[in-house]
Structure 1
């Protein structure tokens, strides 16, 4: 079993292997979507917690997928349309830190 799956199962308090395939699918999908948002081929280690968080959200919506809201017996639940909204600040900070805009470069004026 991989480390991400183990950590996800701890977060969800799952002790058996019944949902391992589904959980792994949610981890893989969250990884792919986050790689697209970051425009990277390999997901940075510091983004693994966001992947797990998105997988937790997805699992908690299991069988309620596709619904924007749910109401029963006076209880109402609204689902976010984007699994990564909660971490938008962290994602933007990572992108800003890794876009090479704020990195200086020495230029020899005699070689230009």
Structure 2
């Protein structure tokens, strides 16, 4: 998680350690939620190909700090709308991983003379 934390801090342009504990929590939560979406058990390791998604979800969570639970926010003519799900942006990638893992859409060759 140390490398993930460093990359997350770069993405958020944070240079001090003031937010480290909160960022670690966001990374941990994002990993757990993504494991649920991928149908992985607690013992399963999250695939390395999913680290960018974990980081992206943590960035979203940090950017909503103090606005958690809101679907939209408006002030002085500025309006911000949040996704209901932090992982919506990566829905296609998550589904592709699940499809590849379950073997759906993978063909195999059968020798008709051996049947």
- TM-score when normalising by structure 1: 0.90
Structure 1 residue 100 displacement after superposition: 2.2
**Runs of at least 4 residues of structure 1 off by over 3 A?**
103-109
RMSD: 1.6
Q: Distance in 1 between matches of 2:5 and 2:110?
A: 45
Aligned pair count?
109
Match of 1:28 in 2: 28
SS in 1 for 2:45: coil
**Which residues in structure 2 correspond to 1:34-45 (within 5 Å)?**
34-40=34-40, 41-45=44-48
Match of 2:80 in 1: 77
Q: Distance in 2 between matches of 1:55 and 1:92?
A: 20
| 1:26/1:105 CA distance change after superposition, 3 Å | farther
Match of 1:56 in 2: 59
Match of 2:108 in 1: 104
Name stretches of at least 5 consecutive residues in structure 1 with no aligned partner.
Answer: none
Match of 1:92 in 2: 95
Q: Distance in 1 between matches of 2:26 and 2:98?
A: 23
Structure 1 residue 106 displacement after superposition: 6.3
- TM-score when normalising by structure 2: 0.88
Structure 1 residue 104 displacement after superposition: 3.3
